[in-house]
Amino acid sequence: MRVVYMGTPVFAVAPLDALVRSGVPVVAVYTQPDRAAGRGRTFAAPPVKAAAEKWGLPVRQPSTLKSPAELEALAELKADVAVVAAFGRIFTEAILEVPRLGFLNVHPSLLPRYRGVSPVPASILNGDAFTGVTIMRLDKGVDTGPIVAQASVGITDWDTTGTLTEKLSRIGGQVLLDVLPCWVDGRIDSSPQDEALASYTRKVKKTDGVIDWTVSAVQLSRRVRAYQPWPGCHTSWQGKQVKFVEAVPLPGRTERPGRVVPLEGAAAFGVETGDGILGVLRLQMEGKRAMTSEEFLRGQRQWLGALLPG
């Protein structure tokens, strides 16, 4: 078995690690080119590149896979199958035909639900009790290929996009190891997706993190979790950004959405919303570390009673 691996973000690291630890011959790792990041705009390597280099695997970072030269380079690897996990590109038919047994994709949702680029935050935003990982054969569509295997996992009330992505990444690696030998040996087949059940996700934008206090406390608490670690759910106060790191929805009569009110218990204060109160457990003011709501109030007493924008 000769495998080419293609992936870019943190989600794609655990499946790669699982393959290498199990002795699967990964003949090359493809990932996106290094990108400028942070305030200094310094170039940073994708997480998969760092993982591949740790294992001593050859890394390729082409700006496109559509050129004849790149198609030839992929063909020269003589891979039996290509494994893809959040690579970040749509593949042409010409590319999909290169490996002898096609491309297998590790997708962090139970397809056909949540096709597209943001399945993990979508599952939290919709209040789902569970999600999962799908191993599917890639075709020229967006997550439309036939399903090879699936595994489910529960979503807790405290899961964020960060923690849930980590869970799904590990599960994806486990399912991939179960599926791959069977796929190569022809002992497993695939089934078409039910188009009637399909749904699509859109890319999360930085502006999605701006809090609208007229939304219900339940939905805002989901947004806090879904947009953690990026872009974060935030408001502004005294000219600085305030990011809500951890929050819970609480019942309560509300009169002015956006008004900060005192509470008792783990949440030292809350914010009135369109329906209920958002109890704040942890938050972070711009330029400071994240802290509990009780710690925050010690240095920001004027915060109570404030009317937050949004």
pLDDT tens by residue, 182-197: 999 999 999 999 999 9
Instruction: Check residue 46 and report its DSSP letter.
Output: -
Residue for token digits 């380079």? Answer: 73
In the β-sheet with 130-137, what is the strand arrangement from edge to edge?
59-60, 26-30, 3-7, 81-85, 103-107, 130-137, 147-154
Which residues in the chain show pLDDT less than 50?
A: none
Tokens standing for 71? Answer: 């198609």
Rounded Cα distance between 244 and 219, Å, is 14
Residue 182 token pair? 């069977």
What is the pLDDT, as a whole number, of residue 301? Answer: 84
Question: Residue 40: what pLDDT?
Answer: 67
Whether 161 contacts 124, CB under 8 Å:
yes
- What tokens appear for 247 in the block? 């929050």
Measured CA to CA, the distance from residue 293 to residue 302 in angstroms comes to: 13
Q: Tell me: the pLDDT tens digits for 230-251? A: 999 999 999 999 999 999 999 9
Under a CB-based contact definition with an 8 Å cutoff, are residues 104 and 135 in contact?
yes
The full set of domains in the chain, from first to last, is: 3-201 (3.40.50.170), 206-303 (3.10.25.10)
Residue 151 has a pLDDT of 98
Looking at this protein, which amino acid is placed at residue 147?
I
Cα(48)–Cα(29) distance, integer angstroms: 8
The Cα-based distances of 139 to 143, 156, 193 in angstroms read 8, 33, 12
Centroid of chain to Cα 136: 18
Rounded (10°) angle between helices 161-185 and 13-21: 40
Helix (H, G, I), strand (E, B) or coil at 17: helix
Report whether 226 contacts 121 (CB < 8 A).
Answer: yes
Please answer whether residues 7 and 15 qualify as being in contact, where contact means their C-beta atoms are separated by less than 8 angstroms.
yes
